[in-house]
Amino acid sequence: MDLIAGELGFSQFASDQHGAPAPVHFFSVPVSLLQSENKDLLEHFNDVVVGVVIVVQKNHPIKGDQLFPFQDFRFRSDGRLRHSLPPVSAISRQNGYGMHPPVYLDNQATTPVDPRVFEAMVPWFTAKFGNAASRSHRFGWEAETAVDQARKRVAALAGATAREIVFTSGATESNNLAIRGIGARHIVTMGTEHKAVLDPVKRLGIPVTILPPRPDGLIDLDQLRDAILPETGLVSVMYANNEIGTVQPVREIGAICREKGVPFHCDAAQAFGKIPVNVEEDGIDLMSLSAHKMYGPKGVGALYVRRRAVRLTAQMDGGGHEFGMRSGTLNVPGIVGFGEACAIAAAGMDAEAERLCGLRDRLLAALRSGIDGMRVNGTMKDRLPGNLNVSFPGISADALLMTLPEIALSTGSACSSATVEPSHVLRAIGVPPDLAHGSVRFGLGRFNTEEEVDYAVSRIVAAVDRLRALAPT
């Protein structure tokens, strides 16, 4: 069957394989042409964008096999398109047609929005634009219903109840609400926490105990037990580290906090959606979450607040939204996207973790065999599936990344890369400054492929060789 490209009338420019700009037409079909197992997702659209066609003139008839599909759209023999949401992502399918640098390997900084998440969000920007707090008409009611559904989905992934999820603008706000809102007289935390924990803790002006990590990045549980004083009002330890990916023994920390009767706050921004997190089993009382670390949109997150166990003072007063804990009109499309991201993570977490561990091991083995003296930072045993943090002795990681514009990597935490200080996390685990300056964080994610890993390794190995050859001996 021949179809006409460019019906939506918008196009963009991308690079073709030789680096030349090539027009990309978003290709749409009327919904009536589509046979979808997920028709309800499409009820508000006349047309759906099903893929992109590169270098096609307007009004040029194209065949189904010229389409780079966004998702699992297939032409059937009767000429109709069949659509089902696939376990394999749209983007990795696109990559299957040939990899196009730049290659994104910085999934701890942020993740791309999953196309399924984007699809779920779209109606909440357009036809369904109501304010979830409007009680007097259906625009408000449908927005409120969507928020309620998302709240249930976030809660389900956390092992919580919907009433315990407070939507925020992200993990920074959630950390601030937990730390400032609890009114503690003494706080115990760790030197490897994100700045969104360390800064509010320090600003409170109360006594704080900052525990050093062990050299492998993990907490010393005996030290934690000793640090909790009768006046301690909060223990704040992150689930997984954003730089070195180390996963703390959260369940043991939760048990110690229970035993001592102290609320336990956990910044789970990096862990949530990637590894199993359960507030009941883990003994967590407050937990910070962020959608953009798990293929959801930026600017939305949540704080889990254990009911009848902790009381928080709101940091944002206004209309009394979010059970009085966080006033402000809700970001309905963002919240819907966050809920969808949670549902997707719940369905595919084990398989995705296994695939990412495989990719990460492939990356590590190839780097090791290509680069002498490379050192891994943080334990490999308790670690996020897609994370690798390594130091290349004798080179500056900043110089390395400058020579590799085709690969997106990070030399530390992206959130603190405005400063040129060596990472506080690497310093805390005892990495000497020269090695810390030569360290690179790899964050592999849902849409990365083996081909991308192999490409990145070949470029990095060559660049490290070049830089080492240039270095004075």
Ligand X SMILES: Cc1ncc(COP(=O)(O)O)c(C=O)c1O
- Which of 257, 342, 357, 415 is flagged as catalytic? 415
Distances in Å between the Cα of 314 and the Cα atoms of 178, 408, 453 are 9, 38, 45
Q: Where are the alpha helices (DSSP H) in 302-393?
A: 332-370
* Least separation in angstroms between CB 142 and ligand X: 27
Alpha-carbon distances of 240 from 27, 249, 273, 276, 433, rounded to whole Å: 40, 10, 12, 12, 23
Q: Which of 94, 248, 270, 377 contacts ligand X by CB under 6 A?
A: 270
Among 120, 257, 269, 302, binds ligand X (CB under 6 A): 269
Tell whether residue 1 is a contact of ligand X (CB under 6 A). no
**Which pair of structure tokens corresponds to residue 205?**
């002006």
Q: Which residue from 95, 236, 248, 290 is in contact with ligand X, where contact means CB under 6 A?
A: 290
**Quick check: 89 binds ligand X (CB under 6 A)?**
no
Among 196, 341, 388, 429, interactor with ligand X by CB under 6 A: 196
Which range binds ligand X by CB under 6 A, 138-146, 168-176, 341-349, 366-374?
Answer: 168-176
**Options 69, 123, 170, 412; binder of ligand X; rule CB under 6 A:** 170
Could you confirm whether 357 is annotated as catalytic? no
User: Residues binding ligand X: what is the number (CB under 6 A)?
Assistant: 13
Kindly state the smallest distance separating residue 114's Cβ from ligand X, in Å.
Answer: 17
Cα of first residue to Cα of last residue in the chain, in angstroms, is: 65
**Minimum CB–partner distance for residue 351 and ligand X (Å):** 24
Among 172, 410, 411, 423, which residue interacts with ligand X (rule: CB under 6 A)?
172
Give the sign of the dihedral formed by CA 317, CA 322, CA 326, CA 331. negative
The torsion angles phi and psi of 316, rounded to 5 degrees, stand at -130, 110
- Give the Å distances, CA to CA, from 178 to 99, 142, 309: 43, 30, 13
In the complex, minimum distance from the CB of residue 174 to ligand X, in angstroms, rounded to a whole number: 8
Binding characters for ligand X, 222-261, by CB under 6 A (x = yes):
----------------x---x-------------------
CB of 52 to ligand X, least distance (A): 29
Rounded distance, CA 431 to CA 433, Å?
Answer: 6
Q: What's CA 442's distance to the chain center, in Å?
A: 14
Q: What is the dihedral of CA 203, 204, 210, 213, to 10 degrees?
A: -60
Kindly report the number of other CB atoms within 10 A of residue 465's CB atom.
Answer: 14
Residues marked active site are found at: 415
Summarize as ranges the residues that interact with ligand X (CB under 6 A).
170-172, 194, 196, 238, 242, 267, 269-270, 290, 301, 415
